[in-house]
Amino acid sequence: MNGAHDMGGMHGLGPIAPPANEPVFHHPWEARVLAMTLALGAWGKWNIDASRHQRELIPGPDYLRMSYYEKWLTGLIDLAVGAGLVSWTEVDSGRPAAASVRAHPPLTAERVAAVIGAGGPATRDVAAPRTFAIGETVRARTINPIGHTRLPRYVRGRIGIVERDHGVHVFPDTNAHGLGERPCRLYGVAFKARELWGQTAGARDSVHLDLWDAYLEPA
């Protein structure tokens, strides 16, 4: 979707102003939001693409206004309600419904190190066509899906060169919507900065993105 999150190339969003010696969390609640997001994810009710998309669905004005972990909190509640883990009544009251049966959390403290250490690889050991060769000139497709996509607007319609074959990866555009992983080939693609931004960009500079087969066409 062409949401506020797809902001590569925008101007006017303010200075970066990086602070010195920033703490990992600015407030204790931020740490709890991060931890609850990881721990509730262990129920396996949604995947990483669905959770990214949930945050993208935050209305644009709110998305730009909210702090990072406020977006995570909003997305987490929406996911948990959508998956039926909690109800809005419970979220609003902060108390379980009378009929609620106590569950057993899948992620216990003893398992945290192993789960974080294992991660969740996105590669799949399945055959998928290699449509494009390394060194081939390709064009990023002009598409405007209303659902989740990892093809940013700023490269759509632009010409690049395939420089790497990352293997076969889960396809976020379907996986985010419960339509299956549909693994397909993922490529590293290099775009000249001037192809993206015009003649004021650095002549030698480039921007590199990881793009799935379905995002590309021969140029």
Instruction: State the pairing for strand pair 206-212/216-218.
Output: unpaired
**Interface segment toward other proteins; rule CB under 8 A; list 69-77, 124-132, 177-185:** 69-77
Residue with smaller CB distance to other proteins, 27 or 137: 27
* Coil vs helix vs strand at 168: strand
Residue with smaller CB distance to other proteins, 90 or 136: 90
Q: Nearest approach, Cβ of 93 to other proteins (angstroms)? A: 8
Q: Nearest approach, Cβ of 129 to other proteins (angstroms)? A: 18
Nearest residue to 88 (alpha-carbon basis) of 98, 99, 100, 77: 77
Residue 25 binds other proteins (CB under 8 A): yes
DSSP for 199-216, written as a single string: TTS-SS-EEEEEEEGGGE
Which residues neighbour 157 within 8 Å (Cβ) at sequence distance 6 or greater?
139, 140, 141, 142
- Residues 150-189, one symbol each (x = binds other proteins by CB under 8 A, - = not), give xxx-x---------x-x--xx-x-------------x-x-
Nearest residue to 216 (alpha-carbon basis) of 100, 117, 127, 136: 136
Site for other proteins in 89-108 (CB under 8 A): 90-91, 94-96, 100, 102-105, 107-108
Nearest residue to 6 (alpha-carbon basis) of 148, 159, 191, 137: 148
Residue with smaller CB distance to other proteins, 29 or 137: 29
Residue 117 binds other proteins (CB under 8 A): yes
